Structure 1
């Protein structure tokens, strides 16, 4: 009994659960409906950049990955409820989120863009101030609970925001004309343009860097429970190594056709 108690105390002190230590498994919460970051099939198999990062991280930590699919706006509550150990879901590091959970170092960053019909006056705008002014009264689609939604609430208060649980739902309304434009990261918008329903749309030529506003965060990070300080230290070290050796850059080239990895600071 004393030995068992000592083992449990050691596990909790290191921030690892008994199940993790016994099975060498790391459970990862991810949305599964945000291509090309995270896509889940009918039986729960997850692919995409987030899955690649998770698998690289697990290999570096010598643990087995288990992905748990969860709606994006439920990821942080589910992590706090210990439904999984970490979040890897294209999640930007923001001050508001840091009040709820801890984050790894930022390991990736991607520009954010609007998409609009080619026939819309929005399509020809090329500067930020004109774009924000043109959003007044327009129906703008964003995914609920994202930095994109918070960014527009702050910077385009006169826009008519329409929020969606998933990226697919937002894109359906965009294609059908129920919203005038939509805002997300550039990769998600390019994914929409590559679909048949995106043929009559184009990116608005105004790139908004995540570093341009605190609401867009400090890069993409791994979400970690606040008490798991030892796990955070191990993940930070592993991510720095994976960025430095080009592994995360290579994965991002696969999914985004560009290197979005972010060097450790």
Structure 2
């Protein structure tokens, strides 16, 4: 959080509007604290699947990438304020978000899952309806501003929802027992399970897909300002080509060990 605050303070102190700051440069807003999607180091360098997609897109458009680290729930307001040109941050395309910004075609999709302690009576649940009912009165962690938070509010309103600014904060509380379950995309939680503090936890064997509830979106897309119709057309074309030629699938294999690319509809 200190790094993020410092980066944001430096960014806003300059008073610069990075959108369209330089000819041939595409400024990209991303979270920077959501492995393996987006990770920022102390120097502000961004790596992860989102960074790979951004760099592939910039190469296809013959533009230079410039990443701007921003808290996830501040990405849409910052885009609308023209602090960067687009968002690439594992952001699901949803009806609510489309009221504020436009999106590219969906280029990826990953299952959403719950993590609980191995000795939890939730661990053996095998179907989504039973799982949602079993969450009644239980404390569940989600990241603020995500489709996971909106899904829980809609489909498991009797659960006690605890929201976090970052994935790390949520996982610390999960490991310490301050929440009984955490809900996020499977890739983010897989990272936690592979660490020492995650050794006593496991996935609930229920994959929650967007086909189950539209609250979870229409795949992952690039966020674009509503007025930038020309840029959207260029990005859509480029993404469809990058999915078709296997570039995005190859990047996802690097970070997720599986192909999460989504063919253009």
TM range (shorter): over 0.9
Q: In the alignment, is residue 140 of structure 1 matched against residue 137 of structure 2?
A: no
For the pair 1:241 / 2:247, whether they are aligned, the reply is no
* 1:7 corresponds to: none
Q: Deviations over 1:80-132 (max 9, x none)?
A: 00110000000000000000000000000000000000011111111112111
Structure 1 residue 182 corresponds to structure 2 residue 182: yes
Compute the displacement of 1:212 (Å).
1.8
CA distance in 1, matches of 2:210, 2:187: 13
Q: Secondary structure at the match of 2:114?
A: strand
Distance in 2 of aligned mates of 1:71 and 1:247: 27
Equivalenced residue count is: 249
CA contact (8 A) 1:28 1:54 kept: yes
TM-score, normalised via structure 2 length: 0.92
Tell me what 2:3 maps to: none
Q: Contact 2:29–2:75 (CA<8 Å) still a contact in 1?
A: yes
User: Over the residues paired in the alignment, what is the CA RMSD in angstroms?
Assistant: 1.3
Q: Which stretches in structure 1 are left out of the alignment for 5+ residues?
A: 1-16
Tell me the CA shift for residue 79 of structure 1.
0.2
Q: Residue in 1 aligned with 2:149?
A: 149
Evaluate the alpha carbon distance shift between residue 18 and residue 40 of structure 1 in structure 2; reply closer, same or farther with a 3 A threshold.
closer
TM-score, structure 1 as length reference: 0.92
1:106-145 superposed matches below 5 A = 106-145=106-145
Given that 1:249 and 1:260 are in contact with CA atoms closer than 8 Å, whether structure 2 keeps it comes out as: yes
What's the counterpart of residue 89 of structure 2?
A: 89
SS at match of 1:210: coil
| Higher radius of gyration, 1 or 2 | 1
SS at 2:74 equivalent: helix
How many angstroms apart in 1 are the aligned matches of 2:145 and 2:240? 28
Match of residue 4 from structure 2: none
Q: Is the 8 A contact 1:123 1:202 kept in 2?
A: yes
Compare the two structures and name the one with the higher helix fraction: 1
> Which consecutive segments of 4 or more residues in structure 1 shift more than 2 A?
17-23
- Specify the alignment match of 2:64 in structure 1: 64
- Alignment partners' CA distance in 2, 1:25 and 1:194: 37
Paired residue for 1:254? 254
Are positions 1:48 and 2:48 aligned together?
Answer: yes
* Structure 2 CA distance for aligned equivalents of residues 83 and 18 of structure 1: 5
1:110 and 1:210 in contact (8 A); partners too: no
**SS of match in other structure, 1:231:** helix
Q: Secondary structure at the match of 1:133?
A: helix
- Structure 2: how far apart are the matches of 1:22 and 1:136? 52
Which residue is equivalent to 2:27?
27
Contact 1:28 1:88 in 2 (8 A): yes
Cα distance in 1, alignment partners of residues 197 and 19 from structure 2: 45
Residue 192 of structure 1: aligned partner? 192
Q: Write the distance in 2 (CA, Å) between the matches of 1:172 and 1:18.
A: 34
